Amino acid sequence: MAYRSQWMTDEIEAFRGSFQRFLTKDLAPHAERWRNDRIVDRSAWRALGEMGALLTDVPEEYGGLGATFAYEAAVTEDLTRFLPEMATSVSVHSNIVAHYVLAYGSEAQKRRWLPKLASGEWVGAIAMTEPGTGSDLQSVRTSARRRNDAYVINGAKTFITSGQLADLVIVVARTSDQPGAKGLSLIVLEAGECAGFRRGRNLDKIGMTASDTSELFFDNAEVPLENLLGEVEGQGFVQLMQQLPRERLGLAVGAVAAIEAALDMTVDYTKERRAFGKPLIEFQNTAFKLAERKAEAVIARVFIDWCVGQMVTGDLDAVTASIAKLWCTDKQVETADECLQLHGGYGYMKEFPIARLFVDSRVQKIYGGTNEIMKLLISRSL
């Protein structure tokens, strides 16, 4: 079927050609070591920056590429396929952290932080989740209280993507005693200069092992008052709600790319592997399972392309982003499971890409707002 995403341009296609070659040749050969070390080389971030693959839809005056979200979608798809080890952390860095700074930062803040994130000199992280609260963001307890010309931050965060490598961390903290959402603010912490900020364990995950995920501790960590994002305190929850659709769409874009990758590798495998004297794909069960998944993949592709188009024009609403995150990540996990099954025992071996895709996929239903929270958000709109 000849199909081209409606957001695809000749320019993006040309970029993707060289980007895919770069990922395969320059970075992917290190992936196994990164998985064993449970962290990627910092130099990989700088290489991605040099390649123009970070902060693609951030204006050039701040070091970005000045392109649209379509570029960002292309980068997410290619990382998912050719370097899944960095797909999530790059998405957090470019699609989330940079966009909080871009949307709410002052001119001085944007000029100070975005070029460093764009070049890969700095790695960005966002710290919302705490040991005691994840889905219920309004219950965040980490506090940031004014003392002289600084915020003094106290508390603990967990499950933070790039927590070990991060140079810049956007911390969701309570700046007043106002209950619930009203007391929350976003504060940028520069890790290199911050006494009282400590990184905890690099958590041992079942999948996405090359992506460091950490505990962070704040023990009277002092951050200058001018590192507040937005002009006044108490805007944190609203800022999070405004940006989460972008994050959710990013996850859904990655999900569709993973579905397509799982299908391709399984079609190849079942054409090659033989049982009872014929290729596996000639068994009706195998062929029908793949046909069903192919139908879903095509539907997911057309829907996600439409969502990307909506994002490019600024029309993507929060409910549609939640629908995309819910459906595409559910389908990703189902597809990964079924494709692994069609590989037989080899599918369970870590050296086979389908095995890694299976374990890496599972978290997609959990982070970025769990899929149960997506259902809550969608049902409220009915």
| 181 is a site residue for ligand FAD (CB under 6 A) | no
Listed ranges 29-37, 65-73, 224-232, 359-367: which one lies at the site for ligand FAD (CB under 6 A): 359-367
Cα–Cα distance, 187 to 171 (Å, whole number) = 5
Listed ranges 25-33, 79-87, 122-130, 261-269: which one lies at the site for ligand FAD (CB under 6 A): 122-130
190 DSSP assignment: E
Cα–Cα distance, 82 to 63 (Å, whole number) = 25
Q: 75 or 326, CB closer to ligand FAD?
A: 326
| 83 is a site residue for ligand FAD (CB under 6 A) | no
Cα dihedral sign, 45-47-48-54: positive
Q: Binders of ligand FAD among 286-345, rule CB under 6 A?
A: none
Q: Which residue is nearest to ligand FAD (CB)?
A: 134
Q: How many CB atoms are located within 10 Å of the residue 358 CB?
A: 25
Strands 184-190 and 168-174: antiparallel
| 213 is a site residue for ligand FAD (CB under 6 A) | yes
Strand partners, 224: 150
| 134 is a site residue for ligand FAD (CB under 6 A) | yes
The distance of closest approach from Cβ of residue 104 to ligand FAD in the complex, given in angstroms and rounded to an integer, is 17
Q: 265 or 366, CB closer to ligand FAD?
A: 366
Contact with ligand FAD (CB under 6 A) among 127, 188, 357, 377: 127
Cα–Cα distance, 207 to 38 (Å, whole number) = 10
Cα–Cα distance, 382 to 380 (Å, whole number) = 6
Contact with ligand FAD (CB under 6 A) among 47, 150, 319, 366: 366
Cα–Cα distance, 87 to 76 (Å, whole number) = 6
Contact with ligand FAD (CB under 6 A) among 58, 126, 169, 258: 126
94 DSSP assignment: I
| 254 is a site residue for ligand FAD (CB under 6 A) | no
Q: Binders of ligand FAD among 89-118, rule CB under 6 A?
A: 92
Strand, coil or helix: what is 174?
strand
The distance of closest approach from Cβ of residue 41 to ligand FAD in the complex, given in angstroms and rounded to an integer, is 20
Cα–Cα distance, 280 to 277 (Å, whole number) = 9
Strand partners, 29: none
Q: 80 or 310, CB closer to ligand FAD?
A: 80
Residue 72 in tokens: 């960002």
Active site residue 226: no
Total number of residues that touch ligand FAD (CB under 6 A): 21
Please work out, in degrees rounded to the nearest 5, the angle formed at the alpha carbon of residue 321 by the alpha carbons of 209 and 374.
70
Cα–Cα distance, 222 to 52 (Å, whole number) = 33
Listed ranges 192-200, 224-232, 349-357, 363-371: which one lies at the site for ligand FAD (CB under 6 A): 363-371
Identify the active-site residue in 222, 247, 292, 296: 247
State residue 189 phi and psi, 5-degree precision.
-105, 125
List, by residue number, the catalytic residues.
247
- Report the interface residues with ligand FAD, using CB under 6 A: 92, 125-129, 134-135, 159-161, 205, 208, 213, 363, 366-367, 370, 372-373, 376
